[in-house]
Amino acid sequence: MRKIDYREAGVDYGKIDPLKVLAQQAAARTADNLRRHGLSEVAASRGESAHVVDCGDFYLASTTECLGTKALVADAMRQVTGRTYYDAIAQDTVAMAVNDLITVGATPVTVQAYWATGSSEWFDDAVRARDLVEGWRRACDACGAVWGGGETPALAGVVAADRIDLAASCTGLVRPKARLTLGDRLGPGDAIVLLASSGIHANGVSLARKLAERLPTGYATRLPSGATFGDALLAPTVLYAPVTEALAAAGIVPHYQANITGHGWRKVMRHPATLTYRFHTLPEVPEVLRFLQRETGGDDRAAYGNLNMGAGYALFVAAADAARAAAIAAAAGVPAVVAGAVEAGPRQVVLEPLGVTFAAGDLHLRA
Amino acid sequence: MRKIDYREAGVDYGKIDPLKVLAQQAAARTADNLRRHGLSEVAASRGESAHVVDCGDFYLASTTECLGTKALVADAMRQVTGRTYYDAIAQDTVAMAVNDLITVGATPVTVQAYWATGSSEWFDDAVRARDLVEGWRRACDACGAVWGGGETPALAGVVAADRIDLAASCTGLVRPKARLTLGDRLGPGDAIVLLASSGIHANGVSLARKLAERLPTGYATRLPSGATFGDALLAPTVLYAPVTEALAAAGIVPHYQANITGHGWRKVMRHPATLTYRFHTLPEVPEVLRFLQRETGGDDRAAYGNLNMGAGYALFVAAADAARAAAIAAAAGVPAVVAGAVEAGPRQVVLEPLGVTFAAGDLHLRA
């Protein structure tokens, strides 16, 4: 069994990051522009999952996120089963933008769609187009957001001829302002509640595609449960907005929130504070992620450092609220577990059941 | 001289539109989701250039727009001159989102960047990356918006290996609410003030690329002024936010506004009202558009129906405000002309100096 790593699978974070740093520095310099409108940037939101502007009576939050390469999995699986799966990846795309937006305490209000194809012919496939539209609509409904519109360009020469580049933007409001969660109240003693993922979501897909190329039956490979690898990969990303709205309705304001995406459990320490995040309990690992780990030869460190491994979203709450927060999440349809706690100590994530520790230097998110 | 039409140049509106209709209908059904947050959609914004939500004390507006294929022109011109032009096309991309947003009376607040490449290597070119970042920042500065962040995915297999798909999202506020311009006050007697374009902006680029393929010296072809075709095409799109903000500061609220983009002057009648838009004066046509028209064999009807022909943005104002609005625009750096008037009559655009009329049926924007 040959190991596959992320660089080999086409995602080279070492190359993306210098440009990101340059862009982040330039972007930060534009904050002063808001003064002429009587607004101001919430500086602590720089580097967070959503950008936040102080508008006086409320905060305005916004995100833009893309699906990544998961549409290639849908396209390949259609050859196997005849289903388009575009309803599923539509939900994934909406989830990427919404699950980031809600981390700052925002209620998602408007979702915009960005669907760039390689040619106008992409839209000739009426079944696929309808699945995309319906999946997008249902995801917006589930999040309580309005689908405001979007852009559907045909970009011959930029996007591959038979492909689509799916992205979403989300705008939201933090009202009342006390709902803002940028981590200023995060501290030792807080509990960490993990919300279940449904599978790979939309991160680690390049690795999964690489594996599919190597498996004799590709995406049709059966997992122990009998599900195919492809079907399991295409379980749509969980939308966490119903949970965060239910928490707000119950009067629970998390001290911090993290959407577990491209850097796996390293994202747990995305807040810049010097704190230790210690886990005593790990959530159940979705079968497809266990399979992916085993077949790509990744150890627990590689798996938890890059994949969600069953934890799609982390809530950091007062210890006294932890059990109730988990119960509210479950009542909103998302299994949750009180999995760990925040401690004074170096910035690190400690997975006690596995003997794995991620140090601050393992994460490179901020300028 | 062989004529080139839009379908041949790769943009087939007949194929895109059915999907757009399906998406627009599904999107409209999500409006009720806002009720659970005590918000409501401004229904009249459906089909307009920006989506608007009534948030009680203010309106929230949002757009998502893409550059289209203009990056291909920049890439080709770099071979000719060594310049990257990514500062220029960054401005184009920001302009696409901001110039749409301001049509509803919104102040642009936050811009999000979407830069999807075909591989991480795209970012290895430090000069091009820096130009992209700097152009984006300067465009945000010019619009008074904060660059909130964005997404820079590497999408091997979706985006062509050495290409980039550039898009922008913009969120804005309409405050005070009286600034909302969705056309309910549009009526006979209103004057039409046209704001100058700088050239092709980002619409009609497929046609220009097709022409470049046919010209013996391609983008290096000299226009009568001595400028090259490519350099002229890459003049960045005018940002109109300084004009709309200056109008608001002067107490002028337009009755309606239209960003002149993909459907050229047909966009003048984008409002669903049954009104005639009669022009007695036409703005100066940028040299590159005159050249494009002549070399592709398009008549005035084809040219004005698809290109901006010197008019990048239309303001519909009370006749008494027209001269002052034009002067304010000029003072904000954008030449403007009081070019025509709104009349009772069938929905049509009449260009008197050219003897060209666009009827309602020539425009297919709405579901």
The model's pLDDT over A160-183, given as tens digits with 9 standing for 90+, comes to 999 999 999 999 999 999 999 999
- Give every strand in the sheet of A107-117, ordered side by side: A40-41, A51-54, A59-66, A164-174, A107-117, A146-151
Residues 27-66 of B with CB under 8 A from A: 27, 29-31, 33-34, 36-37, 39, 41, 46, 51, 53, 55, 57-58, 60, 62-66
| DSSP of B275-318 | EEEEES--PPPPHHHHHHHHHHT--HHHHHHHS-TTEEEEEEE-
Residues of A with Cβ-Cβ distance to B39 under 8 angstroms: 109
**Alpha-carbon distance B223 to B220, whole Å?**
9
| Cα angle, residue B197 at apex, residues B135 and B359 outer, rounded to 5° | 130
Instruction: With CB atoms and an 8 Å threshold, state whether A51 touches B153.
Output: no
Any A CB within 8 A of B153 CB: yes
Query: Measured in Å, how far apart are chain B's first and last C-alpha atoms?
Result: 37
Q: What's the mean per-residue pLDDT of chain A?
A: 94
**What is the predicted pLDDT for the residue at B19?**
78
Other beta carbons less than 10 A from residue A231's beta carbon: 21
The string of pLDDT tens digits covering residues A215-246 is: 999 999 999 999 999 999 999 999 999 999 99
* Whether the bond into A108 is cis, omega within 30 of 0: no
8 A C-beta contact, residue B244 and residue B43: no
CB neighbours of B165 closer than 8 A, spacing ≥ 6?
A: A116, A155, A158, A159, A165, B66, B67, B71, B114, B115, B116, B117, B159
Question: In chain B, which residues have pLDDT < 50?
Answer: 1, 366-367
**What is the predicted pLDDT for the residue at A13?**
57
Q: What is the maximum span of chain B, computed from C-alpha positions, in angstroms?
A: 61
**Alpha-carbon distance B94 to B111, whole Å?**
8
Secondary-structure breakdown of chain A: helix, strand, coil percentages, each rounded to the nearest 5: 40, 25, 35
Q: How far is B22 from chain A (nearest CA, A)?
A: 7
Q: How far is A104 from chain B (nearest CA, A)?
A: 14
**CA distances, B326 to each of B13, B246, B316, B336 (Å):** 34, 11, 11, 5
The string of pLDDT tens digits covering residues A43-55 is: 999 989 999 999 9
Residues of B with Cβ-Cβ distance to A153 under 8 angstroms: 66, 68
Please state the rounded mean pLDDT for residues A142-152. 96
**What is the predicted pLDDT for the residue at A120?**
86
Q: Is the pLDDT of residue A16 over 60?
A: no
- The domains found in chain A, sorted by start residue, are 191-362 (3.90.650.10)
Which chain A residue has the Cα nearest residue B130? A22
Which chain A residue has the Cα nearest residue B24? A149
Any B CB within 8 A of A15 CB: yes
Mutation choice for A interface testing from B55, B155, B164, B213 by most A CBs within 10 A: B155
Looking at the partner chain, which of B16, B37, B112 has a beta carbon nearest the beta carbon of A120?
A: B16
Instruction: With CB atoms and an 8 Å threshold, state whether B19 touches A63.
Output: no
Residues 295-324 of A with CB under 8 A from B: none
Instruction: With CB atoms and an 8 Å threshold, state whether A64 touches B158.
Output: no
Instruction: With CB atoms and an 8 Å threshold, state whether B51 touches A151.
Output: no
Strands A164-174 and A256-259: unpaired
A307 pLDDT tier (thresholds 50, 70, 90): very high
Residues of B with Cβ-Cβ distance to A150 under 8 angstroms: 23, 27, 64
B340 alpha carbon, distance to own chain's centre:
20
Please state the rounded mean pLDDT for residues A100-114. 98
Looking at the partner chain, which of B72, B147, B154 has a beta carbon nearest the beta carbon of A157?
A: B72
Q: Residue A103, SS3? A: helix
Q: What would the two tokens of residue B91 be?
A: 């401005």
Please name the amino acid found at residue B181: T
A123 pLDDT tier (thresholds 50, 70, 90): confident
**Alpha-carbon distance A307 to A304, whole Å?**
5
Residues 195-234 of A with CB under 8 A from B: 206
**Buried b or exposed e, range B26-65, using 16+ CB within 10 angstroms:** bbbebbebbeebebebbeebbbbbbbbbbbeebbbbbbbb
Helices (H), B144-228: 205-214
Q: Is the pLDDT of residue A195 over 50?
A: yes
Give the bridge partners for A59, in sequence order: A54, A174
Any A CB within 8 A of B256 CB: no
Any A CB within 8 A of B24 CB: yes
Secondary-structure breakdown of chain B: helix, strand, coil percentages, each rounded to the nearest 5: 40, 25, 35
Residues found in chain B: 367
CB neighbours of B333 closer than 8 A, spacing ≥ 6?
A: B242
Any A CB within 8 A of B237 CB: no
The answer to whether the complex's ipTM is over 0.90 is: yes
**CA distances, B259 to each of A158, A187, B93, B116 (Å):** 25, 49, 14, 25
8 A C-beta contact, residue A147 and residue A113: yes
What phi, psi does A68 have (nearest 5°)? 85, -145
Residues of B with Cβ-Cβ distance to A137 under 8 angstroms: 26-27, 29-30
**Alpha-carbon distance B114 to B136, whole Å?**
11
Any B CB within 8 A of A173 CB: yes
- What is this structure's pTM? 0.95
Any B CB within 8 A of A120 CB: yes
**CA distances, B328 to each of A167, A199, B6, B102 (Å):** 38, 56, 36, 16
- Give every strand in the sheet of A191-196, ordered side by side: A256-259, A311-317, A191-196, A336-344, A275-279, A348-351, A356-359
Q: What would the two tokens of residue B205 be?
A: 């680029």
**Alpha-carbon distance B74 to B79, whole Å?**
9
Tell me which of A364 and A346 has the higher pLDDT. Answer: A346
Which chain B residue has the Cα nearest residue A40? B146
**Alpha-carbon distance B305 to B261, whole Å?**
10
A363 pLDDT tier (thresholds 50, 70, 90): confident
CA-wise closest residue to A22 among B236, B147, B213: B147
Instruction: With CB atoms and an 8 Å threshold, state whether B165 touches A165.
Output: yes
Instruction: With CB atoms and an 8 Å threshold, state whether B22 touches A133.
Output: yes
**What is the predicted pLDDT for the residue at B366?**
46
